[in-house]
Amino acid sequence: MSSKNPTLLGGAMIIAGTVVGAGMFANPTATSGIWFTGSLLVLLYTWFSMLSSGLMLLEVNTHYPHGASFDTMVKDLLGQGWNVVNGVAVAFVLYLLTYAYIFVGGDLTAQGLGKLAGSEIGLPVGQLVFFAVLALCVWASTWLVDRLTTLLIGGMVIAFFWATGGLIGSVQLPVLFDTQAPAGTQYGIYLAAALPVCLASFGFHGNVSSLLKYFHGDAKKVARSLWFGTLIALVIYVLWQLAIQGNLPRNEFAPVIEAGGQVSVLIQTLSQFVPTGNMEWILSFFAYLAIATSFLGVTLGLFDYLADLFKWDDSAAGRTKTATLTFLPPLVCCLLFPTGFVTVIGYVGLAATVWTALIPAMLLYKSRRKFPQNQSYRVYAGMGLIVWVFAFGVINIAAQVLSQLEIVPVFKG
């Protein structure tokens, strides 16, 4: 169970791998209303706010024993009521994402195994293979997650630039900045639809306590991992926006929006304006690696949260109990109800906002009053940053609610 030799690169890869998941494919569609310039501003705003809230959690976490997660911190600083609210939000998001990743990753695994075997492989078999290999890594150690995630991220980077290299080189500035749009075209009115999706694209907060434990309490090393990991994700997102929105005109996005950002439809529509070659299968490979790394990161965060909640130790027996509670419920649900997550996945962003923005701001506010002399790690800025992150959470909740109730305009292409 040893963490062996933790490296800054490994920590950054765990964060980048958790962040860059299948949600990346939703970004160009969600931001099509505000288009490229607007999407850059929203991505930068979201990146800074989510990084700041993660660093807030890190500062708070330094006041507690290694391995302490949300349950310990929220109960101590905010009380049992907030701890229940936060616990439900954390469990809802992390269990649902685990469930979704087993379904999607299992489907892609079944397809891949079927091609290798020359015969059809059932979805349950693919799900079990995908699940067994990756869950074993999380059970074994964070070090193994570190090494496997680094390898997978390397493959993702190669696949990403292989798929998008030609698109980035063929970007047309009039398309990118929508200069041919009719006079009076509006962009800002579609902001509410973009914010919650971008927030969900920068979720890593369940891994903060895991990394602090992994780096033996070296908070500065954890902070650098958060910076580097989220910056890698930000660069990938911006280049992806550039590749898509620089080639596919804004007024041609209707089929992609109607299909919910489905990769095959996106590429089919894009191919009408620029050669896409083997882009579909390369992006499918990229998506598979992204799902695998996100599964590792999400379940690592859930694993350590549950270990803290039930106070199970890091022995083989303790980790086995934690792994059982981490992996068995989403696996059983996925096998019995393979598409049930579709009905509730839209609420992930809403629940995630609670423990990635509101709770971190509240924890830091309380923590600095309870531990005024601590100097082992202190996040930049003061009360202004706490207000910024809390307001960021409130704005995202309002945007999510208004969008789902269709009170704000929704871009249709």
Least confident of 236-240, 304-308, 372-376: 372-376
Percentage of residues in the chain having pLDDT higher than 70:
96
Residue 403, pLDDT score: 85
Does the structure show a pLDDT above 70 at 101? yes
Residue 1, pLDDT score: 40
pLDDT tens for 16-61 read: 988 987 567 788 888 999 999 999 999 999 999 999 999 999 999 9
Compute the C-alpha angle 285/276/176, nearest 5°. Answer: 105
Residue 95: band (very low, low, confident or very high) from pLDDT cuts 50, 70, 90 = very high
Residue 58's nearest CA partner among 196, 255, 224, 222 is: 222
User: Is 413 part of any domain?
Assistant: no
User: Is 2 part of any domain?
Assistant: no
- Residue 141 phi, psi (nearest 5): 180, 160
User: Is 272 part of any domain?
Assistant: yes
Whether 12 contacts 230, CB under 8 Å: no
User: Is 346 part of any domain?
Assistant: yes
- Residue 152 phi, psi (nearest 5): -65, -40
CATH code where residue 29 lies = 1.20.1740.10
Q: What is the DSSP letter of 32?
A: T
H helix runs in 62-141, sequence order: 70-78, 80-117, 123-140
Quote the CA–CA distance of 27 and 6 in Å, as a whole number: 32
User: Is 410 part of any domain?
Assistant: no
Residue 309's nearest CA partner among 44, 122, 68, 3 is: 68
pLDDT tens for 363-399 read: 999 999 999 876 778 998 889 999 999 999 999 999 9
Residue 218, pLDDT score: 93
* Number of domains within the chain: 1
User: Is 412 part of any domain?
Assistant: no
Q: How far apart are the first and last CA of the chain?
A: 51
Structure tokens at 193: 């639809």
What are the Cα distances from residue 274, in Å, to 28, 263, 271, 397?
Answer: 17, 16, 5, 37
**Tokens 């999706």 belong to residue:** 197
User: Is 306 part of any domain?
Assistant: yes
User: Is 411 part of any domain?
Assistant: no
Residue 244: give the domain boundaries.
Answer: 8-405
Q: What is the DSSP letter of 24?
A: G
Does the structure show a pLDDT above 50 at 336? yes
Structure tokens at 111: 């397809």
**Tokens 């207000």 belong to residue:** 387
Compute the C-alpha angle 365/370/374, nearest 5°. Answer: 95
